[in-house]
Structure 1
Amino acid sequence: MACSTAATLVSGPSKAKELHVQEQKATVDNVRTYLLGLQASITQALEAVEKAAGAGAAQFLADPWAKGADERLQGDGITKIMENGLVFERAGCGFSHVKGAQLPPSATQHRPELAGAPFEAMGVSLVFHPRNPYVPTVHMNVRMIAAGHEGQPATCWFGGGMDLTPVYGFEEDAVHFHQTCKDALQPFGAQLYPRFKTWCDEYFYLKHRDEQRGIGGIFYDDFSELGQDQGFAMMRSVGDAFLKAYLPIVEKRKATPYGPTQVDFQRYRRGRYVEFNLVWDRGTHFGLQSGGRTESILLSMPLHADWSYQRQDPQGTPEAQLLSQYLVRRDWL
């Protein structure tokens, strides 16, 4: 399956087909190599944070997997998961590379012409749930999908981004996170950060509660307008910016004292995180609808989450300020 490029417009259909195959193999190999390296660098960085915290530090469990010949999807991946750490209560970072006979509905909302087409998809997705309520939860994903009906050149597009979900809000953390996102996109066009920031605000939104999930970041999907090479370059820039965006916040907040009140609020807010992932997240739906590996798809779930009926936090408290000052759509830069 080859992504469409101008290089296919040469000397006849057989030559074009051969070039498509060569281009796709090179693209797939390059993207796969990058994504595996990204997963390794991020998980190694988190293990270093854990190790610096002292005795009893957690490490990632690496769980390689491959789809069986009788399953709807074919392919392989590596799920890396760390639980009950000193700094991170649960941290999941997964790589997957799969092929399927038919794109699921969640992937064709904006590309109806590809409904039912065979596809190939690969990506790295992570969610980190820290132990300290003052350290925010974070999500990042970068991915590439190629799809096309038989006899036609495949369409190749990219998606991804990162977003921050604090339990207790700090303006300087939000500014730092958004500035790093903006810097990652700047080489590809000054218009992309405000566009992807708005897209993120609109996507990570719990419609059934009229509530933002967090303070946002950047998000993009079905993105092919820069072409294959620049689309891949932008994917790398976003992926490489993640640790710069998140680790300084972790280091600043991880030793902040907290008690039962803060843990109670953290678990309540994580209930909202679960709601979004199961009800609205297209990535979760894509994985489940296409026959993906359930344990890997649900690595984003926290170890602990609570729900409270019509909870109202007293006005002026940090808990009430999260909703009024941080879980709103605003310009952080």
Structure 2
Amino acid sequence: MSLRDSIADEFLAIEKEFSAEPLKINRKKWDRPGGGGGEMTVIYGKVFEKVGVNISIVHGKIAEKFIDEIPGAKENDGKFWASGISVVSHMHSPLVPAAHMNTRFIVTAKSWFGGGIDFTPIYYNDEDYRFLHGKIEKMCNGFNFNYYPQFKKQCDDYFFLHHRKEPRGIGGIFYDNLSSDNWENDFAYTQAVGKTFLEIYSFVVRKHMNKSWIEEQKEYQLIKRGRYVEFNLLYDRGTKFGILTNGNPDAIMMSMPPLVRWQ
């Protein structure tokens, strides 16, 4: 909740720097049948066409037909507990990259952390790539020098549209089943992922948000967003976990862009 508030406050500050027009902010709590719930926060502005920040703390029992899908669930009679935060931003400007960040902690008979950061620019910018990856690598190296190369590769492999034979964006890091002998270190790393995302993404948004763009670039952005939708519906583990655990469908589909186009 603290990270959610920090992200929402920073994004609202960016909106006020860009425009004095009133913003549309939707915040809605939801309860999960079977145990727990969460809260959705969605902002519609002039910089962020749509940005959602979801938090959830859910528990209960996984349906028998899905029990083999979740590590450790079968050994725990399907019982689970999970908490997480998820951020997805879709921007008005095609010159500002879309972004995604999530972290989670899941408990069955086993327990582990997972999450990641990744960026989806409409137009590749080498300076942004080096800045974003450089900051993420520095954060990772503060915990384990193997994390960045390992989690970067996992991100590149994960955020790939196999049916299109193309990556979703410029990557970042992705990790799952993180459970070392040092729980506090694993948790500190997961917290650092969220804080680093806010720091570096706010910088990139401010860097590009006032640049002018043309309608042709906007049209290409809508087509590029179609790839984002395809990935989330076909491959995304968070989407699948939410469905398997009877999560809130509005919260699960919060990641979808407000406008998209295929042609």
TM-score when normalising by structure 1: 0.75
Native 8 Å contact 1:99 1:118 kept in 2: yes
Match of 2:103 in 1: 142
Unaligned stretches of 5+ residues in structure 2? none
Give the structure 2 partner of residue 126 of structure 1. 87
Distance 2:162 2:72 in 1: 23
Task: Tell me what 1:197 maps to.
Answer: 152
Partner SS state of residue 124, structure 2: coil
Displacement of 1:292 in angstroms is 0.2
SS at match of 1:60: strand
Partner of 2:189: 234
Q: CA deviation at 1:41?
A: 0.2
Say which of 37, 46, 52 aligns to 2:11.
46
1:302 counterpart residue number: 257
Return the match for 1:282 from 217, 237, 242. 237
Asked if structure 1 preserves the Cα contact closer than 8 Å seen for 2:91 and 2:98, the reply is: yes
Residue among 35, 46, 56 paired with 1:86: 46
Determine the structure 1 residue equivalent to 2:179: 224
Structure 1 residues 47-88: Cα deviation after superposition (integer angstroms, max 9, x where no partner): 000111122142532212223xxx2x31021100012x1101
CA gap 1:111/1:210 in 2 versus in 1, 3 angstroms: farther
1:157 counterpart = 2:157: no
Distance 2:43 2:60 in 1: 29
1:212 to 164, 167, 178: 167
SS of 1:233's equivalent? helix
- Secondary structure (helix, strand or coil) at the match of 1:80 reads strand
Partner residue in 1 for 2:57: 97
Alignment partners' CA distance in 2, 1:167 and 1:111 = 39
By percentage of residues, which structure has more strand?
2
Q: What is the distance in 2 between the residues matched to 1:106 and 1:302?
A: 31
* 1:102 Cα deviation after fit: 2.1
- The whole-number CA distance in structure 2 between the counterparts of 1:92 and 1:226 is 34
Whether contact under 8 Å (1:106, 1:286) holds in the other structure is no
**Alignment map for 1:316-327 (pairs within 5 Å):** none
Structure 2 CA distance, aligned partners of 1:114 and 1:182?
36
* Aligned length, in residue pairs: 261
| Amino acid in structure 1 at the alignment position of 2:61 | A
What per-residue deviation string (whole Å, max 9, x for no partner) do you get for residues 183-228 of structure 1? 2211211011000000000000001111100000000011102532
Q: What secondary structure is seen at the aligned counterpart in 2 of 1:299? A: helix
Asked if the contact 2:67–2:78 (Cα under 8 Å) also holds between the matched residues in 1, the reply is: no
TM-score (norm 2): 0.94
Percent sequence identity over matched residues? 38
| 1:161-182 deviations in Å (ceiling 9; x for gaps) | 1000000111011111111211
Does the 8 A contact of 1:51 with 1:58 survive in 2? no
Q: Tell me if the contact between 1:47 and 1:59 (Cα under 8 Å) persists in the aligned partners.
A: no
